Structure 1
Amino acid sequence: MKLKSIFILLLAFYLQTVNAQGPSAYTAEAAYDLINTIEPSPFAHTTHPDAQWFPSAGMGLFMHWGIHSVAALDPSWAMIKNCFWVKRDCPIATEDYYRLAEDFDPVAYDPEKWVLAARQAGFQYMVLTAKHHDGYCLWPSKYGEWNTGKYMQGRDLLKPYVDACRKYGMKVGFYYSPRDWADPDYAHVFPFQDNDLNQKRVITLTPEESQQKFDHFFMTVIGQLSELLTRYGKIDVLWFDGVEWPRVNTYPDKVHAWLRTLQPGMVINPRWSTNGKGSFGDYKTEEGSWRGHLPEHPKKVNDGEWWEFCESWSGHWGYSPLDKYRSLDQVMKLLIYARSYGGNYLLNIGPAPDGTMRKGYYTECEKLANWMKNNKESVIGTQAVPKWKEMSKYPMTKTDQAYYVHLLNDTLNTIEITGIEKPNQAVWLDSGEKLSFKYLEGKKLLIDLNGERSHPLDAVIKIYSE
Structure 2
Amino acid sequence: MYQFNRDDYNKRMEWYQDARFGMFIHWGLYSIPARGEWLRSTEEMSIEDYQKYFDEFDARDYDPKKWAKLAKEAGMKYVVLTAKHHDGFCLFDSKYTEYKATNTKAGRDLVKEYVDAVRAEGLKVGLYFTLLDWYHEDYPHYGDRIHPMRNNKNCGNENRDFSRYVEYFHKQVEEICTNYGQLDVLWFDFSYDDMRGEKWGATKLMNMVRTLQPQVIIDNRLEASGEGKGSLAEGNPTPYHGDFVSPEQIIPPEGVKDVNGDPLVWEACITMNNNWGYHGTDKFFKPAPMLIKKLVECVSKGGNMLLNVGPDAYGNIPEESVEILSQIGKWMKRNHDSIYGCGIANVPKPDYGRVTRKGNKYYFHMFENTIGPVPLLGLEKNKVKKIRALATGYEIPISTSWVHSDYPDIVFANLGPNPVLPDNIDYVLEVEMDD
Q: Answer whether TM exceeds 0.5 for this pair.
A: yes
The equivalent of 1:106 in structure 2 is 59
**CA–CA distance in structure 2, aligned partners of residues 161 and 124 of structure 1:** 15
Q: Aligned AA for 1:334?
A: K
**CA–CA distance in structure 1, aligned partners of residues 174 and 52 of structure 2:** 27
CA spacing shift, 1:380–1:242, aligned 2, 3 Å: same
CA spacing shift, 1:315–1:394, aligned 2, 3 Å: closer
1:371 paired with 2:324, answer no
The equivalent of 2:255 in structure 1 is 298
Q: Aligned AA for 1:446?
A: F
The equivalent of 1:284 in structure 2 is 245
1:351 paired with 2:301, answer no
- Residue by residue over 1:280-324, the C-alpha shift from the partner in whole angstroms, topping out at 9 and shown as x without a partner, is 20000111133xx7xx31366654311000111124111134414
Q: Secondary structure at the match of 1:339?
A: helix
- Residue by residue over 1:62-99, the C-alpha shift from the partner in whole angstroms, topping out at 9 and shown as x without a partner, is 01000011121211x21234xxxxxxxx6655532232
1:309 paired with 2:268, answer yes
The equivalent of 1:22 in structure 2 is none
State the shift of 1:349 in Å: 0.7
CA spacing shift, 1:388–1:97, aligned 2, 3 Å: farther
**CA–CA distance in structure 2, aligned partners of residues 446 and 391 of structure 1:** 12
Unaligned runs of 5+ in 1: 1-38, 82-89
CA spacing shift, 1:162–1:193, aligned 2, 3 Å: closer
Q: Among residues 52, 60, 73, which one is paired with 2:14 in the alignment?
A: 52
Q: Aligned AA for 2:330?
A: N
Q: Aligned AA for 2:184?
A: D
Q: Secondary structure at the match of 1:425?
A: strand
Q: Secondary structure at the match of 2:65?
A: helix
State the shift of 1:252 in Å: 2.3
**CA–CA distance in structure 2, aligned partners of residues 401 and 165 of structure 1:** 33
**CA–CA distance in structure 1, aligned partners of residues 356 and 274 of structure 2:** 30
CA spacing shift, 1:427–1:257, aligned 2, 3 Å: same
The equivalent of 1:12 in structure 2 is none
The equivalent of 2:183 in structure 1 is 235
**CA–CA distance in structure 2, aligned partners of residues 356 and 123 of structure 1:** 19
Q: How does 1:433-452 map to 2 (within 5 A)?
A: 433-438=394-399, 444-450=410-416, 451-452=419-420
**CA–CA distance in structure 2, aligned partners of residues 116 and 194 of structure 1:** 36
Q: Aligned AA for 1:62?
A: F
Q: How does 1:69-218 map to 2 (within 5 A)?
A: 69-75=31-37, 77-81=38-42, 94-152=47-105, 154-188=107-141, 191-192=144-145, 195=148, 213-218=161-166
**CA–CA distance in structure 1, aligned partners of residues 366 and 249 of structure 2:** 24
The equivalent of 2:227 in structure 1 is none
State the shift of 1:329 in Å: 1.8
**CA–CA distance in structure 2, aligned partners of residues 204 and 70 of structure 1:** 29
- Matched residues, percent identical? 30
Query: Which gives a bigger RCO, structure 1 or 2 (Cα 8 Å, sep 6+)?
Result: 1
**CA–CA distance in structure 1, aligned partners of residues 47 and 35 of structure 2:** 12
The equivalent of 1:16 in structure 2 is none
CA spacing shift, 1:49–1:273, aligned 2, 3 Å: closer
CA RMSD of aligned residues (A): 3.1
Q: Among residues 332, 336, 358, which one is paired with 2:296 in the alignment?
A: 336
1:223 paired with 2:171, answer yes
CA spacing shift, 1:100–1:204, aligned 2, 3 Å: closer
1:461 paired with 2:429, answer yes
Q: Secondary structure at the match of 1:65?
A: coil
The equivalent of 1:87 in structure 2 is none
Q: Aligned AA for 1:269?
A: D
How high is the TM-score relative to the length of structure 2? Answer: 0.84
Q: Aligned AA for 1:116?
A: K
Counterpart contact for 1:66–1:136, Cα < 8 Å:
yes
**CA–CA distance in structure 1, aligned partners of residues 414 and 177 of structure 2:** 53
Unaligned runs of 5+ in 2: 225-229, 232-236
Counterpart contact for 2:296–2:339, Cα < 8 Å:
yes
Counterpart contact for 1:121–1:365, Cα < 8 Å:
yes
CA spacing shift, 1:390–1:336, aligned 2, 3 Å: closer
The equivalent of 1:266 in structure 2 is 216
The equivalent of 1:27 in structure 2 is none
Counterpart contact for 1:185–1:214, Cα < 8 Å:
yes
Q: Secondary structure at the match of 1:284?
A: coil
Q: Secondary structure at the match of 2:140?
A: helix
